[in-house]
Structure 1
Amino acid sequence: MRTKYDLTIAYRIYPKVSKNPLVFSDDKYKLSELCLRSLKESLGDLRAKLIVLLDNCPPEYIDLFKKYFDQEDLELIELDGVGNLSTFGMQIELLLEQNFSDVVYFAEDDYYYLPNQFSEMINFLEKNNDVDFVSPFDHIDYYKFNFHDYKNKIKFSEKKHWQNVATTCLTFLTTKKTLERTQNIFKTYAKGNYDTSIWASLTKFNIFNPFKLFKYKEKPYFIAVFFKSWRYSFIQHLFGKKWTLWTPIPTIATHIESEDVSPTINWLKIICHKL
């Protein structure tokens, strides 16, 4: 039986600016609208159910989601400032409990998406049995840090190249079945685990040779990643499946933080054209 929706999105949003975004660095509402509108345009004709976690957001944020999504496609959950760790845990539970779709998406509020490209992620996920997770974000870290100097695979699909990578952030696509099998690893985030070390535990890149990390210029952070991954996920390391995480080249979206934007694209020019 075909479900009504192509995917279900758990979208978490907080009304304060973090770090240093490319635009609207002092206005989270305008930044939120920019990112939300780009997501809507990227979805194109996809049927999406949007479950929104509004963490300590004023009423105008509710109106913002109603502006871009039909009421029947929205589920709005107002929270009293429970914080980043709790909202991620809620995303996991909500996406596992829902029956709107098999494909699920974790969304953060500070990503800018390119129009009509979201479906490429879903098609890639559904057409390839060796694809477990898909991120829309071709992260600059893959080209900047020695940690990502490893042998990986490349696929060509949906007009893009896709590479399997070690890590990403907490915006990603997967299926309910995969999320159910990996949920306990993701839930260690609430216990103090890093997002990077969670992904390293799942993909098993660079987790068996700590001495390799000492030669990296970015070694303090990635040594911490290594030890956290073992602290929280040693059973997964030794006995768990090696899961695959894939990202597109060129990218489908970017984190809008100025130092993290995806390479090769003039994001400021693209974004300013939309303002």
Structure 2
Amino acid sequence: MYDLLIGLRVYPGISKKPILKGSKVDTFGKVYFSILNSTQSLNAKIVIFSDGCGIEFHEMIENMTPERYDLEIIRVDCFSGPKSFKKQYDYLSASDAKLVALLEDDYLLDVGALDSVFKYAASQGFKNYYTFFNSSDYYTHDLHDYKSKIIYFDGDYWRTVASTTFTFLCSPATLKKNYVFFRTYSIGNFDHNIWALQTKLGWWCLLVSIFKKPSVNNFKRLLKFFLTLLLLSPLVFSRRENLWVCIPGKGTHLETLGCSFEYRPE
């Protein structure tokens, strides 16, 4: 049994406004290096979900990966975010690892970041969800105007939040239990809705968003939230998951408009 199973989705495209400059091969090399150094002590395996990547990506990954990691490269080649996410999700949910990490190829992680997340998850019995990404949205976006639980653990603060991206960590059991929520992503649901329905945070913020900042996007998000709520109401009201983010964060998104609170792009 692995302590940690890392599932990394990789595709050859780049962010619209990336923090790092250079080709995707160059920037991915930096991302992958940060992932390799994000855990120093865990028995871990890395699974690459290669979505349309060429042989140069695979060779670089194989050459960079230390022997202490088990490595597997899976060609998914579905050229679709929702489809590759489903393959990643299904694979990791079938694992017997203590914790699984669903990662994307546009995040930089701090040294030891996943070690820190693992320690906190272990203290919580590996229940609920965890993220190293302390998004700037938590401090600036109207959807995140709510009260959180805050815990101090091993030198870091941990705070509950309503949502995150699809880069997160949890146990395989948590993935299996909440499969139906994430399946709505493939039919166009917003990622914020998928999380908020599980965390039960920020529902009022969603409702008032169409009055504070009327827009087609806000209306669609709210409409899909209520449609999903009606469809999955027995599940929604029978459980609640905490989504924990570490403060300060231990990684950032490569998109300048979605960076971490701690990172200040030039």
Same fold flag (TM > 0.5): yes
1:126 is aligned to 2:122: yes
Q: Residue 177 of structure 2 corresponds to which residue in structure 1?
A: 181
Runs of at least 5 residues in structure 1 that lack an aligned partner in the other structure: 269-275
Shift of 1:206: 3.0
CA, structure 1 residues 238+112, in 2 after alignment: closer, same or farther (shift >3 Å)? closer
Q: Distance in 2 between matches of 1:7 and 1:114?
A: 17
Deviations 1:92-150 (A, max 9, x none): 11012233x12111000000011122111111111025950001100010111121110
Q: Distance in 1 between matches of 2:172 and 2:71?
A: 19
Deviations 1:70-90 (A, max 9, x none): 477111111334311110000
- 3-state SS in 2 of match to 1:180: helix
For 2:3, give the aligned amino acid. Answer: D
Question: After the TM superposition, which residues 1-275 of structure 1 pair with which residues of structure 2 at under 5 Å, given as runs?
Answer: 3=1, 5-24=2-21, 26-70=22-66, 73-99=70-96, 101-129=97-125, 132-207=128-203, 211-217=207-213, 220-234=216-230, 235-236=232-233, 238-266=236-264
- Matched-pair contact (CA < 8 Å) for 1:160–1:250: yes
- Matched-pair contact (CA < 8 Å) for 2:19–2:256: yes
- Matched-pair contact (CA < 8 Å) for 2:145–2:202: no
Q: Distance in 1 between matches of 2:150 and 2:25?
A: 38
Q: Distance in 2 between matches of 1:255 and 1:150?
A: 23
CA, structure 1 residues 205+227, in 2 after alignment: closer, same or farther (shift >3 Å)? farther
Q: Distance in 1 between matches of 2:218 and 2:244?
A: 20
For 1:92, give the aligned amino acid. Answer: Y
Q: Distance in 1 between matches of 2:138 and 2:37?
A: 27
For 2:247, give the aligned amino acid. Answer: I
Q: Distance in 1 between matches of 2:119 and 2:145?
A: 28
| Percentage of pairs with the same residue | 28
TM-score, with structure 1 as normaliser: 0.88
Shift of 1:216: 3.2
Q: Distance in 1 between matches of 2:261 and 2:217?
A: 22
- Matched-pair contact (CA < 8 Å) for 2:10–2:48: yes
Q: Distance in 2 between matches of 1:51 and 1:247?
A: 24
Q: Distance in 1 between matches of 2:61 and 2:214?
A: 39
Deviations 1:131-178 (A, max 9, x none): 500011000101111211101111111211111000100000000111
Q: Distance in 2 between matches of 1:94 and 1:199?
A: 20
For 2:85, give the aligned amino acid. Answer: F
Instruction: Report the RMSD for the aligned CA atoms in angstroms.
Output: 2.2
Runs of at least 5 residues in structure 2 that lack an aligned partner in the other structure: none
